[in-house]
């Protein structure tokens, strides 16, 4: 038995007059809804859990067994699969919940993933279109602050996605430690070198033997990997965290329009060209005000500049940098840059 709930009934529309419970049978094997249930695969970019409480309550109150499979979408950042148990008036059974969203995080404007295939005839194995198993647990698309231990200093690595890309490294005091323009030959080269780059940058920082105000050695922990964009190149950075020594690094997907809306003026966001020019100016300011390497000399490579700007935005989001306004400007609105 398969049941479907019309889009919008979980709380986004008053079009449907009947209660959610009345739209569901007493039991079903497969349930398809647009929205996910509350608190399950439903965390959006803002950090809010935006799933449907009414849908979850309706399933919990089913007279018979809950569905074996619950397929949903809507919250693009929640793509993934989990197993859970819903309470019922009879003996319950495990439900496999699959958020099959395949668009980019935030407001959808392009597809990022292919379909998810669920073989419910055997062991409920979850695979993508190529039959390759996908992770049951999803990395977050919004930075969740971790509990910092004594003697630790957290690091954020910001990546402007591409085969020609930028990378920047911030610490939890808001200091810009390093930035570079990088180039990869192809996707295979990116998959190979991405984990090596993470190891190299992390090891280089720890090799400097930083000392705190009490004379104790500081252990630098790479806590966040923020990547702008999505698609196959994003997958390379995600897979770079598969090893045991990187399992605690939190992967965060950042939309270009997200950091630009916080750092750039509407006029600067008017075109791709003006966005890039503004990013180069903002990066110069960030390097001058927060960098440890002195003012940037020469022309700022766009990809490196955008990684610095995006990393600066993320450092502010994490509470590492508190400055209002975030960007210092002249009275005419232009970015103040070192001369």
* CATH code: domain of residue 213: 3.30.420.140
166 and 98 within one domain: no
Do 166 and 307 lie in one domain? The reply is yes
pTM: predicted TM-score of the whole model, two decimal places: 0.59
> Does residue 171 belong to any structural domain of this protein?
yes
Q: Is residue 144 part of a domain?
A: no
Extract the tokens encoding 276: 């890039």
Same domain, 108 and 52: yes
Residue 142: what are its φ and ψ, rounded to 5°? -145, 130
For the record, the structure tokens of 247 come out as: 């399992």
* Per-residue model confidence as pLDDT tens for the chain (339 residues): 788 887 765 544 444 444 555 678 888 989 999 999 988 888 887 778 888 888 888 888 888 888 989 999 999 888 888 888 876 444 567 888 999 998 887 777 777 777 787 876 544 444 444 444 444 333 343 445 556 667 788 999 999 989 999 999 999 989 999 999 999 999 899 999 999 999 999 888 877 656 655 666 778 889 999 998 766 788 889 889 988 888 888 888 887 888 998 999 999 998 889 999 999 999 999 999 998 777 888 889 999 999 999 999 999 988 999 888 999 999 999 999 877
Number of domains, the chain = 2
Distance between CA atoms of residues 206 and 217, nearest Å: 10
**Do residue 161 and residue 310 come from a single domain?**
yes
Q: Per the domain annotation, does 147 fall within a domain?
A: no
Whether residue 135 lies inside any domain: the answer is: no
Last residue of a domain, one of 95, 128, 161: 128
Structure tokens at 234: 């994003």
209 and 247 co-located in one domain: yes
- Which residues in 91-118 are b (16+ Cβ under 10 Å) and which e? eeeebbbbbbbebbbbeeeeebbeebbb
Same domain, yes or no, for 106 and 170? no
Please tell me whether residues 115 and 168 are part of one structural domain. Answer: no
Main-chain phi, psi angles of 289, to 5 degrees: -90, -30
Tell me which residue of 95, 91, 104, 3 sits closest to 40, measured CA to CA: 95
329 Rama class: left (phi>0) / alpha (psi -120 to 50) / beta: beta
DSSP state of 334: P
Q: What is the pLDDT of residue 132?
A: 45
* Whether 116 contacts 81, CB under 8 Å: yes
Q: Has residue 332 been placed in a domain? A: no
In 3D, which of 134, 103, 137, 138 has the Cα closest to residue 116? 134
In a domain, 232, yes or no: yes
* Domain contains 333: no
Same domain assignment for residues 217 and 256: yes
Residues 116 and 259 in one domain: no
303 with 242, same domain? yes
Which residue segment(s) compose the domain that 49 sits in? 2-128
All residues at 6 or more sequence positions from 339 whose CB lies less than 8 Å from its CB, including other chains: none
The half-sphere exposure of 27 on its side-chain side, counting CA atoms within 13 A, is 14
Q: Are residues 184 and 115 in the same domain?
A: no
Q: How far apart are CA 252 and CA 308, in angstroms?
A: 15
Q: Does any domain span residue 324?
A: no
What span, in angstroms and rounded, lies between the C-alpha atoms of 168 and 310? 9
Q: Which helix (H) or strand (E) holds 85?
A: strand 80-85
Is there a contact between 53 and 60 (Cβ–Cβ < 8 Å)?
A: no
Looking at the structure, tell me whether residues 122 and 265 fall in a common domain. no
């Amino acid at each position: 038995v398969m049941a479907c709930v019309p889009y919008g009934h979980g709380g986004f529309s008053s079009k449907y007059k009947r209660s959610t419970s009345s739209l569901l049978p007493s039991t079903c094997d497969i349930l398809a809804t647009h929205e996910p249930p509350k608190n399950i695969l439903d965390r959006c970019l803002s950090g809010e859990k935006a799933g449907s409480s009414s849908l979850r309550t309706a399933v919990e109150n089913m007279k018979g067994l809950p569905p074996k499979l619950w397929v949903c979408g809507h919250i693009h950042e929640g793509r993934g699969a989990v197993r859970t148990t819903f309470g019922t008036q009879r003996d319950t059974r495990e439900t496999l919940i699959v958020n099959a969203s395949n668009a980019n995080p935030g407001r959808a404007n392009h597809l990022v993933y292919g379909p998810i295939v669920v073989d419910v005839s055997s062991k409920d194995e979850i695979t993508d279109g190529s039959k390759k198993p996908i992770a049951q647990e999803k990395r977050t698309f919004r930075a969740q602050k971790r509990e910092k231990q004594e003697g630790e200093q957290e690091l954020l690595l910001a990546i402007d996605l591409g085969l020609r890309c930028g990378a920047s490294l911030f610490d939890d005091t808001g200091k810009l430690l390093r930035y570079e323009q990088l180039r990869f030959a192809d996707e295979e080269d990116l998959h190979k070198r991405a984990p090596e780059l993470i190891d190299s940058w992390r090891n280089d920082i720890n090799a400097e033997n930083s000392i705190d105000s009490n004379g104790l050695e500081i252990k630098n922990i790479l806590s966040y990997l923020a990547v702008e964009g999505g698609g196959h190149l994003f997958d390379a950075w995600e897979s770079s965290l598969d090893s045991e020594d990187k399992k605690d690094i939190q992967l965060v997907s950042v939309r270009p329009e997200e950091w630009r809306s916080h750092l750039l003026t509407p006029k600067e966001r008017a075109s791709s060209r003006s966005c890039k020019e503004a990013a180069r100016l903002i990066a110069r300011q960030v390097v001058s005000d927060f960098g440890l390497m002195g003012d940037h000399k020469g022309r700022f490579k766009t990809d490196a500049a955008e990684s610095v700007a995006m990393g600066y935005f993320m450092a502010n989001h994490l509470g590492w940098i508190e400055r209002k306004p975030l960007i210092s400007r002249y009275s005419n609105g232009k970015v103040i840059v070192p001369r």
